[in-house]
Amino acid sequence: MNASFELQRVGLQKWLLFWLLFLFPMLSSSSLFGASGEVQPRITVRVIPDSVLVGDRIRCLITVYHSQKEVAALEGFDRSDSLASHSFELIRRKHSSSFPSSGSGSEEFELELAVFGRGQQPLPPFTVVFRDLQGMVTKRVPYTSSASLFVRVLTDSSMRELRPLKPPLKPSIPSLLMMSVIAGVFGVAGMVLLLLFLLKRTVRNSAERVDSGQVAQRKLRKLGSSLSAGMPPHECYEELSNIMRSFLENHYRISALEAVTQEIERDLKKIGVAGFESIMNLLKQADLVKFADCHPDVEESRQSLKKASEVIRSTRVPKSDG
């Protein structure tokens, strides 16, 4: 008795397992199909993003599931009047088909829309047209999507940011005009440089014509007059030192005005000038007055001026002879 009951229990369990593993999935999958075995059409709509600024673009993804014996198409987005009334403008559309499982297929429509208007904007209604494989319309399914998006306008007081505006395009300058302007600038610059060069050469030539010896002699004569007029002898020696240095700098092209006596001595030795000893004596005498608290009298100052004049004259003689 117990054994037959056990056999019945095992048989019931097997029957239940058969129902769970095999028959139930078959029945549940058949619920997608109609009573006649046809696939019921299904439409999904997705909008990205759901909040935009006026004039922005959105992507609208519409997916239509249907039977493999049909093809689907969209109506309603092609008519600009219909879209304009709903503040949308179709920019671009893409269409792709796929057959995910036997007996069923799907169409995906990707629409790029420009959005206008303001506030909450519902997506415009559209119609899905199904055709059989011969191209005959089998059914039309009007569809109003519950998807919507929010459109913000630039003047909206709730706005916190402005859209970056594109800078206005600069008017392009014709390359020919540019070339001529550049050539003109270079031409003017060249002319200025040429003028400067000519001016410098003229000044140098005129400076060379001025005899440094003559200038020094004139200054010495003036200094002698000042001494006679009561100039203190130590000031006379300072001026004499300046005149001699200036003469040496211009005549022998050495840096004498900013040099100390020993530096001048070295430079003159290198050149081998005439009257070297006399020049150095004069400079050293001036140094004694300037730095060693020496007090020359007027007669000594006159003698030094005379000696300086002779030295300058002696340096000029060989030049004029040569």
Partner 1 sequence: MQHAVELEELGEQITEASRFIEHAQEQLSQRIIGQHEVIRRIFIAMLVNGHILLEGVPGLAKTLIIRTFASAMNLKFQRIQFTPDMLPADLIGTMIYNPKDMEFYPRKGPVFANVILADEINRSPAKVQSALLEAMQEHQVTIGNQTFPLQEPFMVLATQNPIEHEGTYILPEAQVDRFMMKILVDYPSYDEELEIMLQSATTASKLPVIPVVQLHDISRARALIDRIYVDPRVQRYIVDLVVATRKPGKYGMANLEAMIEYGASPRASIFLLLAAKAHAFLQHRAYITPEDVKVIAYDTLRHRIRPGYEAEADNIKPDDIIRQILQHVQVP
- Among 57, 69, 140, 295, the residue binding partner 1 under the rule CB under 8 A is 295
The verdict on 104 binding partner 1 (CB under 8 A) reads no
Beta-strand pair 148-152/51-53 = parallel
Q: In the complex, what is the shortest distance from the CB of residue 173 to partner 1, in angstroms, rounded to a whole number?
A: 40
The verdict on 235 binding partner 1 (CB under 8 A) reads no
Q: In the complex, what is the shortest distance from the CB of residue 295 to partner 1, in angstroms, rounded to a whole number?
A: 5
The verdict on 152 binding partner 1 (CB under 8 A) reads no
The verdict on 231 binding partner 1 (CB under 8 A) reads no
Distances (CA, A) of 273 to 254, 260, 268: 12, 18, 6
- Interacting stretch for partner 1, rule CB under 8 A, among 95-103, 161-169, 171-179, 255-263? 255-263
By CB atoms closer than 10 A (0-12, 13-18, 19+), residue 41 is middle
Q: What residues does 53 pair with on adjacent strands?
A: 152
- Among 285, 305, 312, 315, the residue binding partner 1 under the rule CB under 8 A is 285
- Among 43, 147, 215, 288, the residue binding partner 1 under the rule CB under 8 A is 288
The verdict on 299 binding partner 1 (CB under 8 A) reads no
Q: In the complex, what is the shortest distance from the CB of residue 237 to partner 1, in angstroms, rounded to a whole number?
A: 9
User: Alpha-carbon distance 97 to 14, whole Å?
Assistant: 43
- Interacting stretch for partner 1, rule CB under 8 A, among 110-118, 127-135, 161-169, 294-302? 294-302
Q: In the complex, what is the shortest distance from the CB of residue 293 to partner 1, in angstroms, rounded to a whole number?
A: 5
User: Alpha-carbon distance 315 to 45, whole Å?
Assistant: 110
User: Alpha-carbon distance 191 to 183, whole Å?
Assistant: 12
- Tokens read off for 223: 């200094």
User: Alpha-carbon distance 109 to 285, whole Å?
Assistant: 110
The verdict on 300 binding partner 1 (CB under 8 A) reads yes
Q: Do 62 and 41 touch, CB atoms closer than 8 A? A: no
CB atoms closer than 10 angstroms to residue 105 = 20
The verdict on 290 binding partner 1 (CB under 8 A) reads yes
Ramachandran angles phi, psi of 144, nearest 5° = -115, 115
Q: In the complex, what is the shortest distance from the CB of residue 219 to partner 1, in angstroms, rounded to a whole number?
A: 20
What are the residues binding partner 1 (CB under 8 A)? 258-263, 285, 287-297, 300
